[in-house]
Structure 1
Amino acid sequence: MQSLNRTVRVTARSALIGVVTLIFLAPFYIMLRNSLMDSQGITSPHWTWWPSTLHWENFTSLFSDPTLHMAEGLRNSLIVALISAPLSTLFASAAGYAFARIPLPGRGFLLALIMATMMIPGSATFVPTFIVVGSLGGVNTLWGIIAPGLFNPFAVLLFRNFYLRFPKELEEAGRLDGLGWLGLYRRVALPSSVAMLASLGALAFIDSWNAFLWPLVVGQDPGSWTAQIALSNFLTAQTINLPGLFAGAVVTIAPLVVMFLVAQRYIVEGIATSGLKG
């Protein structure tokens, strides 16, 4: 009887996981399906599971149309994400270690200020940030898109929680070798936080790649557009090119899918070891 109940539970759990997986994958399937169809097939009232004729020209037209700037957008998004993700993660790691270990005067007050910045809506700081970046010549530049996102207070708190649980015995061994705070962080703490670095780095990469409003305002010239800005051209046109829109969505989301598949284990492990688990 117990084995039968266990079989029923396992079967029900597997069926539930399968249903949830199908629901999760349904938007990706529809997006890929529509990207390989023509406009008549997408808007047709008769549903087809897969197009009889694959229109690969929907993808080639993305890069042949000079008004879309899709190739430049993908390049700029890659540059922004590859610079912003590691730098913001490294800065958060260093700040988190300082708050967790270094006995600085006023450390609690500074930590409270960092936590307070998380309660300020982005709309309240958007215009002042743009004024500062514009006065420094950051409009229509990639560094103007990157710089404001290099500080992540949430990541600082995660790293602080992680380093609070870090074994002090390892640091004491490093002190016997004559290491100071910087040496302890660089040679002991940082190499031991690879999971956290990878998980938060992956999340920062996804966040940088998906950013829209700030790159739209700062990158006014087509040469500084990101992939999301180039993709928005399909929505602002008088006539919406549905096949091109879905093809562009597939192209822009593909790096994120690859990133998630590669880093999903690190994301789960990093969050689990950040001190937030119950």
Structure 2
Amino acid sequence: MTAGTPSSRRRRRTGRGVLTTTGLYAAVVVAALLFLVPFYLIVRNALSTDAEITGENWQFLPTHLQWGNVSELFDDTTVEFGRSLWNSLVVAVLMTFGILLVCSLAGYGLARIPYRHADKVFYLVLATLMVPTAVTFVPSFVLVSSLGWVDTYRGLIVPGLFSGFTCFLFRQYFLGFPAELEEAARVDGLSHWGAYWRIVVPNSLNFFAAIATITFISGWNAFLWPLVIGQDPSAWTVQVALSSYMTNQTVNYHLIFMATAVSILPLVLVFLFLQRWLVQGIARTGIKG
């Protein structure tokens, strides 16, 4: 039996390549559709009545889009949803900037400043990752309460201004940062702070943007700590306000879905704007697998 001609082998390889590419595109399309299903349900139910949401006859879209649900959401006097959006924005933004500053300085110090106990300090930071949040929750609340920070932005923000995992990510990144740039800065007379602020930070904006995206999303989605600290409705964040639409007596389905749609919109915009930096930044941390 003779081997196939070069042209026939090329055709077979081309055919296999087309099938592989088609299969990959099909898998991506299926995954994208599955990913978009929850968003469709949120938008569809947000513009429906409670009867259309819970009814037996399912429709792809409601017969009449209930745009009045938007005004009902913000006009509800029992839940200051607009105020809760503002609270979440303030908490998420200030927490993001605070964590970027504190954890990047800590990570830079552990990676670059010579100190004989630097490894021990780093191991202590890693040890905090092994402590369950539930263990520190009550002591943190007692401390915040004793300081009079209940129902304040300080109580919502300050306890979360340090993250051991974020510090670890910054240290890993700075270990891979070109030391030659910092050495040149030191020759020019810059201190460690000067090298950090004028050399390292401007050349690490992609990584900072990635950490900022993750931190902002985490701060926006926080629920348990704001639920305990924000006892007055004026101090509620958006996640706490969402939970108030579901009680033991009633469930306002259309308001829950409308509030959900409004609350995820800032996260979608942030993610779409910063997704390129998010992927690049995580890829540069040195973490594999």
Using structure 1 for the length normalisation, give the TM-score.
Answer: 0.98
Structure 2 portions without partners, runs of 5+: 1-11
Greater shift after overlay, 233-242 or 137-146? 233-242
Shift of 1:235: 1.1
Query: Quick one: which amino acid aligns to residue 137 of structure 1?
Result: G
Could you tell me which residue of structure 1 aligns to residue 104 of structure 2?
93
The answer on 1:78 being equivalent to 2:89 is: yes
Query: Quick one: which amino acid aligns to residue 181 of structure 2?
Result: L
Q: 1:167 aligns with which of 175, 178, 181?
A: 178
The answer on 1:11 being equivalent to 2:22 is: yes
Shift of 1:105: 3.0
The answer on 1:112 being equivalent to 2:115 is: no
Shift of 1:56: 0.8
Q: Deviations over 1:153-185 (max 9, x none)?
A: 111111111111111111111011101111111
Percent of aligned positions with the same letter in both sequences? 45
* Residue pairs, 1:23-172, within 5 angstroms: 23-172=34-183
Shift of 1:51: 1.2
Could you tell me which residue of structure 2 aligns to residue 244 of structure 1?
255
Greater shift after overlay, 104-113 or 10-19? 104-113
Q: 2:274 aligns with which of 255, 263, 269?
A: 263
C-alpha distance in 1 between matches for 2:89 and 2:180: 40
Query: Quick one: which amino acid aligns to residue 58 of structure 1?
Result: N
C-alpha distance in 2 between matches for 1:176 and 1:108: 27
The answer on 1:186 being equivalent to 2:197 is: yes
Q: What is the CA RMSD across the aligned residues, in angstroms? A: 0.9
Q: Deviations over 1:81-119 (max 9, x none)?
A: 110011101211111110000012311111111000000
Question: In terms of Rg, which structure is larger?
Answer: 2
Query: Quick one: which amino acid aligns to residue 197 of structure 1?
Result: F
Structure 1 portions without partners, runs of 5+: none
Using structure 2 for the length normalisation, give the TM-score.
Answer: 0.94
Structure 1 residue ranges (4+ consecutive) displaced by more than 4 angstroms after TM superposition:
none
Shift of 1:57: 1.2
Q: 1:220 aligns with which of 226, 231, 239?
A: 231
Could you tell me which residue of structure 1 aligns to residue 212 of structure 2?
201
C-alpha distance in 1 between matches for 2:176 and 2:252: 53
> Residue 235 of structure 1 aligns to a residue in which SS?
coil
